[in-house]
Structure 1
Amino acid sequence: MGTWNTRGLRGSTLEDLINRTNDSYREKKLALIQKIPTPITPIQIDKASRHITLAYFDQKSTVDYIGAVQGIPVCFDAKECAATTFPLQNIHPHQIRFMEEFEAQGGIAFIVLYYTGLDEMYYLPFQKVKSFWERMEAGGRKSFTYEEIDHSWRIRAYRDMLVHYLEMIAKDLEYHQQNDKKD
């Protein structure tokens, strides 16, 4: 198993790394995950180049990615954090609602969180994100710290899968199955 090391990919964004991983998953027939484009309304278009020079976001988007992994619906958002404290304002109420409804329909929802300063990436299951969110809504912290996350959910690179999150989905599914048996 490879370790996460993006030293050669410093110019790439998290979404670029995920998109490349998703291409690899598709080619290997492991998963079919698509980036959800954010709808925009153009305000100004450069007539010579036909490029949009000014636009606004049409509506709130749901999450960054959606698709299926071996028949299991999945959705997730990609977030980057330069510090070791992640502000919950970077996750929007409509995203929490969507992920909650998605899981209620039998899907798996999560966040891929990249701590850029530490060069570490983590899979945050929706239930953990929701617990941080509920703590905030109850008047608690409006963020969570690096120390608060479960480091056993660290995402590693593996060959051409630069953000190999499928391993963590398998772990998340086990967690869901154990909790379903308890109910």
Structure 2
Amino acid sequence: MATWNSRGLRGSALEELINFTNDTYLKNHLALIQKIPTPITPIKIDRETRHITLAYFDKKSTVDYIGVIQGIPVCFDAKETAVDTFPLQNIHAHQISFMSDFEQQKGIAFIILHYTARNEYYYLPYCDIIKFWERSEKGGRKSFTYEEIDKTYRIHMSKGVMLHYLEALQKDILQRDWE
């Protein structure tokens, strides 16, 4: 079982950027996005500071963020990789299932992926994520490469927003075949 202090803080810089972005979107009445806390069971608590110093993840979480953007429900996860290959083991089956169910309800699911060595951020639409996932499930490659992702979904700082992912979301919406 993983502890929060050994692996749970990975990606915290990315999450801080996303949180700051989401605050900006809220202040500008563009979106309401909430960070979903991962349920934990505290094991050790510092009596003086009352801070948790050791904890275990309670149960499987869904995704990192959920909310609504201009009336459209969205959910997404924040992921990072230091190399040009992203192992699919970093996306859990229960997350894929949740994103699939979310999309079936006419929501939009995606991942914000940070290539730390390149300092580049990308929006990965669910249709691409599931393509890589299904390839892996059929015995194919258990990861995807930087070369395989759609570079038109790169996320930039724009209009004073640190990680302006709404531009990539708009592109995703325009490419969908809404019934």
What is the letter of the counterpart of residue 141 of structure 2? R
- Superposition pairs of residues 143-154 of structure 1, within 5 angstroms: 143-154=143-154
User: Which digits, 9 at most, give the CA deviation of each residue in 1:131-159, with x for residues without a partner?
Assistant: 00000000000000000111111111114
1:50 match: secondary structure: coil
Which residue of 1 is the match for residue 160 of structure 2?
A: 160
1:24 match: secondary structure: helix
Alignment gaps of 5+ in structure 1: 1-11
Which residue of 1 is the match for residue 52 of structure 2?
A: 52
1:134 match: secondary structure: helix
Which residue of 2 is the match for residue 137 of structure 1?
A: 137
**Is the contact between residue 21 and residue 160 of structure 1 (CA under 8 Å) also seen in structure 2?**
no
2:59 match: secondary structure: coil
Q: Among all aligned residue pairs of Structure 1 and Structure 2, give the percentage whose two residues are the same amino acid.
A: 65
Which residue of 1 is the match for residue 3 of structure 2?
A: none
1:13 match: secondary structure: helix
2:73 is the counterpart of 1:73: yes
Partners of 1:89 and 1:139 lie apart in 2 by 14
Which residue of 2 is the match for residue 97 of structure 1?
A: 97
Partners of 1:74 and 1:46 lie apart in 2 by 37
Deviation at 1:53, TM superposition (A): 1.5
Partners of 2:48 and 2:124 lie apart in 1 by 45
Deviation at 1:160, TM superposition (A): 2.9
Tell me the TM-score normalised to structure 2 length: 0.91
Partners of 1:144 and 1:150 lie apart in 2 by 12
Tell me whether 153-162 or 134-143 shows the greater mean CA deviation.
Answer: 153-162
Deviation at 1:119, TM superposition (A): 1.0
Alignment gaps of 5+ in structure 2: 1-11
**Is the contact between residue 43 and residue 56 of structure 1 (CA under 8 Å) also seen in structure 2?**
yes
Partners of 1:180 and 1:28 lie apart in 2 by 27
Which residue of 2 is the match for residue 23 of structure 1?
A: 23
Flag the structure with more relative contact order, 1 or 2, with Cα contacts below 8 A and sequence separation at least 6.
1
Partners of 1:109 and 1:122 lie apart in 2 by 14
1:139 match: secondary structure: coil
What is the letter of the counterpart of residue 84 of structure 1? D
Deviation at 1:180, TM superposition (A): 3.5
**Is the contact between residue 123 and residue 153 of structure 1 (CA under 8 Å) also seen in structure 2?**
yes
Deviation at 1:43, TM superposition (A): 1.2
User: After TM superposition, where is structure 1 displaced by more than 2 Å over at least 4 residues in a row?
Assistant: none
Tell me whether 36-45 or 136-145 shows the greater mean CA deviation.
Answer: 36-45
